[in-house]
């Protein structure tokens, strides 16, 4: 096992800067997730760590070894891809032991390692089958097993669950987390799925356009997003963003005045008529039965029942927002209803409308 460090890493493809000035250090044994929208550079970072992509500028260390010029095979990391990449003509046992055979490990040790890995992945009963006789989830476990069997210094996983159906994805995700708990191998996991990032990561690295936006624990990223990009990328359904104007000690949102606390006024240097954007998560909006200061009148435009909750889309005078409402069985909301909604100032985010930086 080993820590993995990136120091001012840049990767250019001609005039495209795919990855720009990336620095972080993953401590030995931690599970880090690189997440961001398509094209943000996450796979390129993983491939540079694996040695499958060259580095334009900067240094990568695995443990204390500078690996920039070390070929992939000698980096002692194991990469798992979304398409499993199993050998179709070999049995599962042969697929698992392939790397050991190449390294001329003796057959007794090979068998012992295959059995031990198969046991921890719950695939002992599949060892004599061929890959096409396995389900997608089982094949993915074999791909993980093939990576584990070498006892690498680090696991590099590139969207390993994206070919699985929803239920298998949930199961395999939980399994991966449990496995990491048992093995404690430094893991770097790439995904565009923020639910995977939130549930698996010790730390999340949020990327956009080749640059790091924020590094933090899932809780920090959710509760203290550094900017609007992070705030809207993490959280499902997405955070609502509304324009706001500061006027006479209040924030005017959709023509509704919100009285600001002294604390917020200390945090932000407001000037008359300055413009902001405010953010409120769908799960932090409630219905009010009696009049409350700062409430809004909204008209129901769509209702999506989610079981316990309802995802309700409403229109305010100038925007549309989503509410994730926990509603009792007796709730009779329907399209066209007028709802009184409110949110607490504690749940409000205020962003600089130009830079997107979180001000509060
Ligand atoms: P996705 O989630 O869609 O896989 P990603 O975040 O993993 O995206 P990368 O595959 O790392 O993104 O690509 C980052 C940027 O670098 C993109 O703009 C991509 O078009 C560009 N890029 C990647 N590989 C090459 C290449 N071989 N030649 C030119 N441009 C490339």
- The ligand 1 atom nearest the CA atom of 45: 11
| Residue 241: closest CA among 219, 225, 220 | 225
| CATH 3.40.50.300 applies to domain 4-233 | yes
Q: Kindly report, residue by residue over 28-54, the tens digit of the pLDDT.
A: 999 999 999 999 999 999 999 999 999
153 lines ligand 1 (CB under 6 A): no
Give the residue from 179, 147, 160, 6 showing the smallest Cα distance to 83. Answer: 160
Asked if residue 41 has its Cβ within 6 Å of ligand 1, the reply is yes
Architecture of the domain spanning 240-352: Beta Barrel (2.40)
192 pocket-lining for ligand 1 (C-beta < 6 Å): yes
Short-list 45, 139, 47, CA closest to 95: 139
- What is the residue with the minimal CA distance to atom 18 of ligand 1? 39
Ligand 1 centroid, distance to 195 Cα (angstroms):
22
| Residue located nearest, by CA, to atom 2 of ligand 1 | 38
Q: How far apart are alpha carbons 38 and 345 in whole angstroms?
A: 33
> ipTM more than 0.90?
yes
The tens place of each residue's pLDDT in the chain, 360 residues long, gives 799 999 999 999 999 999 999 999 999 999 999 999 999 999 999 999 999 999 999 999 999 999 999 999 899 999 988 777 899 999 999 999 998 898 889 999 999 999 988 988 888 999 999 999 998 888 988 998 898 888 899 999 999 888 788 888 888 888 889 889 988 999 999 999 989 999 999 999 999 999 999 999 999 999 999 999 999 999 989 999 999 998 888 888 888 888 888 888 888 877 777 889 999 999 999 888 777 777 888 999 999 998 889 999 999 988 899 999 988 777 888 999 999 998 888 899 999 999 999 999
User: Residue ranges per domain, the chain?
Assistant: 4-233, 240-352
The 3-state DSSP class for residue 311 equals: strand
Among residues 1, 328, 49, 58, the alpha carbon closest in space to that of 205 is found at 49
pLDDT at position 289 = 78
Report the predicted TM-score, pTM, of the whole model to 2 decimal places. 0.90
> How many CB atoms neighbour CB 151 within 10 A?
13
Residue 264, Ramachandran bin (φ over 0: left; ψ between -120 and 50: alpha; else beta): alpha
Are 6 and 23 in contact by the 8 Å Cβ rule? The answer is yes
**Cα–ligand 1 centroid distance for 208 (angstroms):** 12
Atom 7 (ligand 1): residue with closest C-alpha?
43
Q: Is the CB of 43 under 6 A from ligand 1?
A: yes
Distance in Å, CA 345 to ligand 1 centroid = 40
Whether 240-352 and 4-233 are alike in CATH topology: the answer is no
pLDDT (tens digit per residue) in 167-195:
888 888 888 898 899 889 999 999 999 89
What is the secondary structure of 71-128 as a DSSP string? Answer: -GGGG-EEEE-TT----TTS-HHHHHHHHHHHTT--HHHHHHHHHHHHHHHT-GGGTT
Q: Which atom of ligand 1 is nearest to the CA of 207?
A: 6
DSSP class of residue 224 equals S
Judge if the beta carbon of residue 48 lies within 6 A of ligand 1: no
Assess whether the C-beta atom of 18 lies below 6 angstroms from ligand 1. Answer: yes
Answer yes or no: is the C-beta of 191 below 6 A from any ligand 1 atom: no
Radius of gyration of the chain (CA): 25
Q: Which positions ≥6 away from 187 have C-beta within 8 Å?
A: 30, 31, 32, 154, 155, 156, 157, 180
Residue linked to tokens 């048992």:
182
Give the helix/strand (H/E) hosting 197: helix 194-200
Q: Judge if the beta carbon of residue 40 lies within 6 A of ligand 1.
A: yes
Residue with CA nearest ligand 1 atom 26: 13
CA of 171 to the centre of ligand 1 (A): 29
């Amino acid at each position: 096992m080993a820590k993995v460090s990136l120091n001012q890493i840049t990767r250019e493809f001609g005039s495209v800067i795919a990855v720009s000035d990336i620095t972080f250090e993953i401590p030995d044994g931690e599970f880090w997730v690189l997440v961001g929208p398509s094209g943000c550079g996450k796979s390129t970072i993983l491939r540079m760590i694996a040695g499958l992509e060259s580095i334009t500028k900067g240094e990568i260390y695995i443990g204390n070894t500078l690996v920039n010029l070390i070929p992939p095979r000698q980096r002692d990391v194991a990469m798992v891809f979304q398409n499993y990449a199993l050998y179709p003509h070999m049995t599962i046992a042969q697929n698992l032991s392939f790397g050991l055979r190449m390294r001329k490990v003796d057959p007794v040790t090979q068998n012992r390692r295959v059995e031990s890995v198969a046991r921890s992945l719950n695939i002992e009963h599949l060892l004599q089958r061929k890959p096409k006789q396995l389900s997608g989830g089982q094949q993915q476990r074999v791909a993980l097993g093939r990576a584990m069997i070498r006892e690498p210094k680090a696991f590099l996983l590139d969207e390993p669950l994206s070919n699985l159906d929803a239920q298998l994805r949930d199961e395999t995700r939980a399994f991966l987390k449990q496995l990491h708990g048992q093995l404690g191998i430094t893991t770097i996991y790439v995904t565009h799925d923020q639910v995977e990032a939130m549930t698996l990561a010790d730390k999340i690295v949020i990327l956009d356009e080749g640059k790091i936006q924020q590094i933090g624990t899932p809780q920090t990223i959710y509760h203290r997003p550094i900017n609007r990009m992070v705030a809207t990328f993490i959280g499902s359904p997405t955070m609502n963003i509304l324009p706001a104007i500061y006027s006479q000690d209040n924030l005017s949102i959709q023509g509704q005045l919100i009285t600001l606390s002294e604390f917020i006024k200390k945090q932000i240097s407001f000037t008359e008529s300055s413009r902001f954007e405010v953010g409120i998560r769908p799960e932090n909006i409630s219905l009010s039965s009696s009049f409350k200061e700062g409430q809004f009148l909204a008209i129901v435009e769509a209702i999506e029942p989610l079981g316990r909750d309802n995802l309700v889309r409403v229109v305010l005078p100038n925007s549309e927002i989503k509410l994730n409402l926990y509603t009792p069985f007796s709730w009779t909301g329907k399209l066209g209803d007028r709802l009184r909604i409110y949110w607490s100032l504690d749940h409000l985010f205020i962003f600089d409308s130009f830079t997107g930086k979180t001000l509060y």
